[in-house]
Structure 1
Amino acid sequence: MQTYTTGLFVGRAWSLTEKGPILITIKDGMVFDITHPSIPTTRDLLELDDPAAWIAQANGKCLGKLSELLTNKLEGVRLLAPCDLQAVKACGVTFARSMVERVIEERAGGDPAISESIRSRIATLIGDSLRNIKAGSEEAMRVKAALIEEGIWSQYLEVGIGPDAEVFTKAQAMSAVGHLSNVGLHPISTWNNPEPEVVLAVNSQGQIKGAALGNDVNLRDIEGRSALLLGKAKDNNASCAIGPFIRLFDSTFNLDDVRNAEIDLLVEGGDGFVLKGQSSMSQISRDPVDLVAQTIGKHHQYPDGLMLFMGTLFAPIEDRDVVGQGFTHKMGDVVTISSPKLGSLQNIVRLSTECDPWIFGVSHLMRNLAARGLLKNEELA
């Protein structure tokens, strides 16, 4: 709760009364509906020159206590992902440790049983030599040449230290789930893990307006079999969680706070298993501004903006059941991702086939907003 006493936050919630989504903010521990005909979506809010200033002066209907919303006890309202019309994109292998793990997955062909021996061999060759390298630098190119000579070059090292970042589509607009929702694993996966990340909120002009927490659910065995299976590994029903809110940039929170953010991960299994981890944004190999510039610009436009996952340092290797096979999820795992200035995002792991199906898309949103008198032609120009 202390996290939300400073700063300006925007979120979305499903309202039983409106039979659709509403924009919400927090003031003095209370939740307010601030949906307005001029700002019916998060997308519209982020297009403003100063979204935080608009939130600060917005007058809305009080819905109840924040503590009740965050525990799913606020009557008639439940949290959604804070984004709506934005594309959901993600950057991969932006940290040295996770980059090495992607190489291991590739070499193991998605088989966790042989990953440990490969990990030891690669660690001997690479060690910590990549940790402080700036992607695309002359030093990085020298390391690349040395690795090729050693015979261990990989497509993951290319995007990890080469000039071009890996940017892929994580989820479709309107498909991300929010705080306390189930997150889904494709049923064919047997080796998978959460990926705690900071997610940038970017408008159509490429301006970063705020940030949120995210879980870029990862299927290590599927992507490890072939990088061409990235779509199957990353984009499934309920496989993307964002929230609880977007913290908007203002005098209390800016891009340097994002650059220095510490993200904690806690996985609690019904079998008593507990996994803790941390991802430090200070160790990222590409600056957030560079990642945004490689995603949106003259080469690619996003008229509704985008949410951009920036990658994770976290790659779990702790054994859960079988020695040498590392960590993988079990159904019912409770995953909590938290950061002091962004709050806490919690989800429960299920199969994608058992999570609530995604049935409310962009067309449904437009019809709902129109029925509520929240769409005007001039607002969409």
Structure 2
Amino acid sequence: MGDKHYPDGILLGRARVPGHDHPRIVTVRNGELVDITTRGLATVRDIAESGNAAQHVRDAAGVSLGSVDSALANSVAANTDVSKPSLLSPIDLQAIKASGVTFVVSLLERVIEEQARGDKARADALRGDITGLIGTDLSELVPGSETAMKVKAALIERGVWSQYLEVGIGPDAEIFTKGQPMSSVGYGAEVGLHPVSSWNNPEPEVALVVTSSGQIIGATLGNDVNLRDVEGRSALLLGKAKDNNASASLGPFIRLFDGEFTLETVKQSEISLRVEGEDGFVLEGHSSMNQISRTPESLVAATIGGHHQYPDGLVLYLGTMFAPVKDRDGAGKGFTHKLGDVVSISTSELGTLSNRVNLSTICPPWTYGASHLLRDLAKADLL
């Protein structure tokens, strides 16, 4: 899982700290986890909405909670000692949203492979047809453009249109609710699979932190755990495929934008994925953010604006180009999770997010919601 799980920069997160009923707001300074919880800015939501989140986190007075590495080690579910600090998901009251089918090049390649059924010549012919319509490689196709509509017409003529292609190259992005505020899990926690699923996968993604005004102020890593068989049966089952106990993982920290780390940095990120199974199976892959077909700004605009407001802000998963196909239990059987898999998602800019896979019915139930947080903060005179 690498030697360093967190990056440099202005980091914002949440931690469970002994002696406190509510999550504490933390940052990282010189390898130390520092508690910066203060009255009036006792939630990540309030810091994000303050108008100067990066400056506040950089300058706030704080108390050391010990080394970050110790807190990270203590955040791994099997190792957690409740008498020591451990990390939580770095967001609290924000809505948890996600975008799908945002990498056209990987989507069209999967369509081509499906249609060709292993026939390389047929695949080359279909790819050539599409490339001829685009005039360049698939990664240059702009969703909703006149050229994209020509590709859509050509694919419909071939009988290969689908709901995924519609949101992949059509005018409207796929935006859905991944989970409810306070429901996400953080570094080291178990991530959950609904027990009805027998074909599922991790989705390694960057997630943007967006204020109620639509301003993008930072980013973190996310695992948009997905049930491929459930979603494959019907797009109307997307909620069941995506929103289950412990199915939204974020962390380890939010890295706030400053002079060195910006949205442009995010757009060039290389995301690495590693899955290590108790059966010795190892899966590795990567996703290049510079291959995304809809800009992060356009995905945010499709989520929040005059048509929809989020008074507590939101976090938006940006999608992935990675679809695991490595055979696990024999030729042609493809990939699916097994309980106990350790999923690690990494970028040099955002660190490493690691989680162990379990059933959503066995993962710790979600019992601490927005009402509990507000009551505890009021009791501590922090509101």
TM over 0.5: yes
1:344–1:156 Cα change, 3 Å: same
Please say if 1:231 is aligned against 2:239.
yes
Residue matched to 2:317: 309
Tell me, yes or no, if the aligned pair for 1:17 and 1:76 is still in contact at 8 Å: no
Counterpart secondary structure, 2:73: coil
The amino acid of 2:182's aligned partner reads: M
Please say if 1:374 is aligned against 2:382.
yes
Q: Can you give the 5+ residue segments of structure 1 that lack an aligned partner in the other structure?
A: 105-114, 376-381
Provide TM-score, normalisation by structure 2. Answer: 0.91
Tell me, yes or no, if the aligned pair for 1:91 and 1:165 is still in contact at 8 Å: yes
Please say if 1:198 is aligned against 2:206.
yes
The amino acid of 2:380's aligned partner reads: R
Tell me, yes or no, if the aligned pair for 1:3 and 1:341 is still in contact at 8 Å: no
The amino acid of 1:53's aligned partner reads: Q
The amino acid of 1:18's aligned partner reads: H
Tell me, yes or no, if the aligned pair for 2:17 and 2:23 is still in contact at 8 Å: yes
State the distance in 1 between where 2:235 and 2:356 align: 27
The amino acid of 1:251's aligned partner reads: G
Residue matched to 1:44: 46
Please say if 1:335 is aligned against 2:340.
no
State the distance in 1 between where 2:12 and 2:313 align: 16
**Identical columns (%):** 59
Please say if 1:15 is aligned against 2:17.
yes
For residues 200-215 of structure 1, the aligned pairs below 5 Å read 200-215=208-223
For residue 68 of structure 2, the aligned residue among 66, 69, 78 is 66
For residues 104-143 of structure 1, the aligned pairs below 5 Å read 120=118, 123=123, 125-126=126-127, 129=131, 130-143=138-151
Tell me, yes or no, if the aligned pair for 1:279 and 1:313 is still in contact at 8 Å: yes
The amino acid of 1:41's aligned partner reads: T
State the distance in 2 between where 1:87 and 1:196 align: 19
State the distance in 1 between where 2:38 and 2:162 align: 50
Please say if 1:88 is aligned against 2:92.
no
Residue matched to 2:287: 279
Residue matched to 1:351: 359
State the distance in 1 between where 2:94 and 2:110 align: 28
State the distance in 2 between where 1:6 and 1:154 align: 42
The amino acid of 1:315's aligned partner reads: A
Tell me, yes or no, if the aligned pair for 1:244 and 1:345 is still in contact at 8 Å: yes
1:230–1:4 Cα change, 3 Å: closer
Aligned pairs, number? 365
For residues 153-232 of structure 1, the aligned pairs below 5 Å read 153-232=161-240
Tell me, yes or no, if the aligned pair for 1:97 and 1:314 is still in contact at 8 Å: no
Tell me, yes or no, if the aligned pair for 1:6 and 1:252 is still in contact at 8 Å: no
Residue matched to 1:27: 29
Tell me, yes or no, if the aligned pair for 2:11 and 2:255 is still in contact at 8 Å: yes
Tell me, yes or no, if the aligned pair for 1:136 and 1:163 is still in contact at 8 Å: yes
Tell me, yes or no, if the aligned pair for 2:71 and 2:84 is still in contact at 8 Å: no
Say which is worse superposed, 163-172 or 47-56, in terms of deviation. 47-56
Say which is worse superposed, 240-249 or 313-322, in terms of deviation. 313-322
For residue 298 of structure 1, the aligned residue among 289, 306, 319 is 306
The amino acid of 2:229's aligned partner reads: D
Residue matched to 1:107: none
Provide TM-score, normalisation by structure 1. Answer: 0.92
Q: Can you give the 5+ residue segments of structure 2 that lack an aligned partner in the other structure?
A: 75-79, 132-137
1:145–1:136 Cα change, 3 Å: same
After superposition, the C-alpha distances for 1:324-364 in whole angstroms (9 at most, x for unaligned) are 12100000000000000100000000000010000000111
State the distance in 2 between where 1:45 and 1:139 align: 43
